[in-house]
Amino acid sequence: MAKQQSKSILIATIGTRDLALMVADNEWLNVGNDRAIGVISEQALVLEHLQLSQQMDFLSLSEYLCAQWSEYQERLQPIIIGKLLQDKSKNLKKIYLVGTNQPENSRFREKDTLYSAKLIKLWLEKHYQIPTEIIEQGNNGENPSDFEAMFDWWKKTWVKIEKEGQIEESTKILLCLKGGVNQSSEAARITAISRFAEKTYFYDFIQNEQQNSLGKPSAYTKPFRGTNYLWDRRQSEALSLLDRWDYSAVYKVLNPYWQTAEDDEEIFKIKNSLEIAIQWNMADFESLATSQSKTLDWWSPAYETAYLGVIRFKQGSTTEAMFHTFRAVEGLIVDWIKNEYKPHVKKEGNKWVLKQTICSDEQFLEFKNSGHIFEQRTSDIDLFGTNLDKILKIAEPNIKTHPDWKTFFNKTRNSRNRLFHNLQKLDKEEVLKAWISQDSKQWESKILSCLNFLSKQTFNSLESASYMSRLHNSLKDKIKAYKP
């Protein structure tokens, strides 16, 4: 099924040269082009063809054509934005045409484009069924050539359009700002970017007078997106959040880029990496390994969980840091038992148990004389809490003298229970104290030592053991290198 395109609204500032009229010999003349070509301008030729006074100004001429629409409707067309309107018509839910309508005493009144906008609206009603609204500029005395006045005017105009309910989360804002006064167009560009950010698409037009004279509307450029304008700011923001390992926030900052860059492979690589990183935050390590074409070994989740704990410690989330690091070590014991004694491990509901049948298995002689942990060999034992310590000490006697495992058994477990059963503030010092560590470096080293001993791996840091650290660095490089 083809992906449904999001609907758009189009805002176009209308200038004096946006309309063309067909005269004799199927020649199209620009109604408002008063620049003389040789001895006479196109506007003058239009007046001559219509047998109107050469003294008639543009406003009066466009007002006349508007009044005579029924007579001239087949011979008028928007010569600048016409092709864009045609190409985008199926996906436009509303069009706003901005035409100037200044007070009578304004020195530029004769160039006002209100009736040009009305003519284009009539043309749209004739050819397409798209709701079209004219927004009058200057009718309250604001000067279209005053940038500050226009800045304020456009801000109010965007509020008005938003209140009409035309702009939803997925709505694209298409802006055609070539017509009208430069100061107004520039104010429109800046305020649109500020308000709608990456939802904005700016179209420019390539005037070809020869083609226009044949009735062919101007071609338009590939849109310059709001994403392009804002990328430097968004990139800096994303990288700053990435340094905090806040993948959800990075995703939110960059979300408009995969909404507006349907064919941009690089931005979707960033998107996919972020989605995996967010899942890693929720302990989905399988997706992480798969994304890097790696196999998730039985011991891998413990290293990932421990690294997640270290990240939380750096973020100041001390409770989570304590939880994840303790869980990493205790969880590794469970996975080690599951891996070592598969025939005698089973899952009951949401817990794992070691079956008492292991005591009669000649393959595991270490348990034959240790049946006391199974309550007279008639019960299975839950893989939980201090039961894990007992099993591990039977299976791996040397662990009793391992300094970091001794810390875990004798200090960390008790501290964890005490810390997690009260609602007091948990300082970083409390986390370090639970592992008898002077600083975070020693703390990480103790955790790594426990994991390496049981997994028989030789990693020199939790970061080097984690697939996520590699994905994180790759993600940072992709964001730094990306250009919209």
Lowest mean pLDDT among 4-8, 63-67, 297-301, 337-341: 4-8
Long-range contacts of 436-443 (CB under 8 A, 24+ apart): 436/407, 436/411, 440/310, 440/313, 440/314, 443/313, 443/325
**Statement: residue 68 has pLDDT above 60:** yes
* Rounded average pLDDT over 3-16: 83
Tell me which of 341 and 365 has the higher pLDDT. Answer: 341
Structure tokens at 399: 């662990």
Tell me which of 463 and 181 has the higher pLDDT. Answer: 463
Rounded percentage of the chain residues whose pLDDT exceeds 90: 54
For residue 133, report the phi and psi dihedrals to the nearest 5 degrees: -125, 140
pLDDT of residue 1: 38
pLDDT of residue 132: 94
* Digit-coded pLDDT (tens) for 258-279: 766 666 788 889 999 999 999 8
pLDDT of residue 287: 82
Number of helices (H) and strands (E), helices first, in the chain? Answer: 21, 16
CA distance 457 to 300: 10
Residue 386, classed as helix, strand or coil, is helix
pLDDT of residue 2: 43
Residue 23, classed as helix, strand or coil, is coil
280, 468 contact by CB (below 8 A): yes
CB-side neighbour CA atoms (13 Å) of 14 = 34
CA distance 220 to 47: 29
Structure tokens at 36: 């003389």
* Digit-coded pLDDT (tens) for 330-351: 999 999 999 999 989 999 888 8
**Statement: residue 372 has pLDDT above 70:** no
pLDDT of residue 371: 56
Long-range contacts of 105-110 (CB under 8 A, 24+ apart): 106/138, 108/144, 108/145, 109/59, 110/57, 110/58, 110/59, 110/60
Which residue is associated with the tokens 């890693």? 280
CA distance 471 to 477: 10
302, 332 contact by CB (below 8 A): yes
* Digit-coded pLDDT (tens) for 89-148: 999 999 999 999 999 888 889 999 999 999 999 999 999 989 999 999 999 889 999 999
CA distance 430 to 318: 9
470: closest CA among 291, 209, 334, 327?
A: 291
pLDDT of residue 28: 94
* Digit-coded pLDDT (tens) for 158-201: 999 888 877 887 888 999 998 888 999 999 999 998 888 888 88
Residue 416, classed as helix, strand or coil, is helix
Q: Catalogue the E-assigned strands of 297-339.
A: none
Q: Catalogue the E-assigned strands of 25-145.
A: 28-30, 36-37, 40-41, 76-78, 92-100, 132-137
* Digit-coded pLDDT (tens) for 158-169: 999 888 877 887
| Mean pLDDT comparison of 404-408, 411-415, 422-426, highest-scoring range | 404-408
Lowest mean pLDDT among 197-206, 225-234, 260-269, 311-320: 260-269
pLDDT of residue 137: 94
pLDDT of residue 181: 86
CA distance 11 to 14: 10
**Statement: residue 378 has pLDDT above 80:** no
For residue 265, report the phi and psi dihedrals to the nearest 5 degrees: -65, -35
Q: What is the DSSP string of 264-295?
A: -HHHHHHHHHHHHHHHHHTT-HHHHHHHTT--
Grade residue 5 by pLDDT with cuts at 50, 70 and 90: low
pLDDT of residue 334: 94
Which residue is associated with the tokens 């020195």? 107
Grade residue 305 by pLDDT with cuts at 50, 70 and 90: very high
* Residue 94 neighbours by CB distance under 10 Å: 18
13, 185 contact by CB (below 8 A): yes
CA distance 195 to 223: 18
205, 239 contact by CB (below 8 A): no
* Digit-coded pLDDT (tens) for 12-35: 999 999 999 999 888 999 998 888
* Spacing of C-alpha 429 from chain mean position: 37
CA distance 174 to 167: 12
CB-side neighbour CA atoms (13 Å) of 250 = 27
CA distance 277 to 211: 53
